[in-house]
Amino acid sequence: MKIGIIAALDCEMVEFCKDFGAKPSKYYGIYEGKCAEHDVYISLVGVGKVNAAANTQRLIDLFDVDYVINSGVAGCTCNHLGVCDVVVSKELTYHDFYPIGVLDKYAPNASVFKADEKLISLACEACENIKDDGFKFDTGMIVTGDQFVEDSNVVARLRADYNAFCTEMEGAAVAHVCVLNKVPFVVIRAMSDNADEDADMSFEEMSAVAAKRASFVSTYIISKL
């Protein structure tokens, strides 16, 4: 099978390159490797929705991938998880698209994008099996916007309006493009911060560790496909 991975930052893709022996392909920003019998294409996309959408479509058009995984870090917006815990996407939406209802009214007639059940269940199995130093995980709503959230008032709004478990800057755009192309996907995010006033500092300290944890979960999924 062919698996596409979307990673925004170097720290979110470096483990995949090691694990899969990935080398640069002839396409800008895309690395090719192998996991068991699967071909894996890792796209280092940069930050934000447009980068994520454009490069998800590139993976689909160039390689006809069977699955897409978006792996990386996020700001935690729920009370029951914290830094270095993991959120597996059940569904994703935008928190900065107004009015969001136009996505329901016009194409693609959906404003919430549901992740693939099989990938969700493999991700949960991964979290249960990875012994590591112990962490919590849950499956829930991930909200995406072109904004690094570092404000507890915004966190309260994301929780109240969307029941968001975490916030990041690419997931819903990846999901949106996958839905348009009927490609199954999942988003795996480990928490680098709490999206509050200390988010910047926490991100600096914890993003490498958190990104590695998200990669472990994603690698496990691929190894079981």
The residues annotated as belonging to the active site are 12, 193
Tell me the one-letter amino acid at 78: C
Q: Which residue is nearest to ligand ADE (CB)?
A: 75
Nearest-angstrom CA–CA distance, 130 and 218: 11
What is the smallest separation between the CB atom of 48 and ligand ADE, expressed in angstroms? Answer: 10
Binding of ligand ADE at residue 113 (CB under 6 A)?
no
30-35/23-24 β-pairing: antiparallel
What is the smallest separation between the CB atom of 19 and ligand ADE, expressed in angstroms? Answer: 22
CB 86 within 8 A of CB 190: yes
DSSP letters, 148-200, are ----HHHHHHHHHHH-EEEEESSHHHHHHHHHHHT--EEEEEEEEE-SSTTHH
Please name which of 214, 200, 173, 202 lies closest in space to residue 48, comparing C-alpha atoms. Answer: 173
Binding of ligand ADE at residue 120 (CB under 6 A)?
no
Binding of ligand ADE at residue 154 (CB under 6 A)?
no
Q: Which is nearer to ligand ADE, 179 or 195 (CB)?
A: 195
Query: Which residue of 148, 151, 208, 224 would you call a contact of ligand ADE, by CB under 6 A?
Result: 148
The answer to whether the Cα torsion of 205, 211, 216, 217 is positive or negative is: positive
Binding of ligand ADE at residue 13 (CB under 6 A)?
no
Contact letters for ligand ADE, residues 165-204 (x by CB under 6 A): --xxx----------------------xx-x---x---x-
Inter-axis angle of helices 199-224 and 10-19, to 10 degrees?
30
- Which of positions 64-93 make contact with ligand ADE (CB under 6 A)? 73-75
Q: Which is nearer to ligand ADE, 40 or 55 (CB)?
A: 55
User: Where on the chain is the footprint of ligand ADE (CB under 6 A)?
Assistant: 73-75, 148-150, 167-169, 192-193, 195, 199, 203
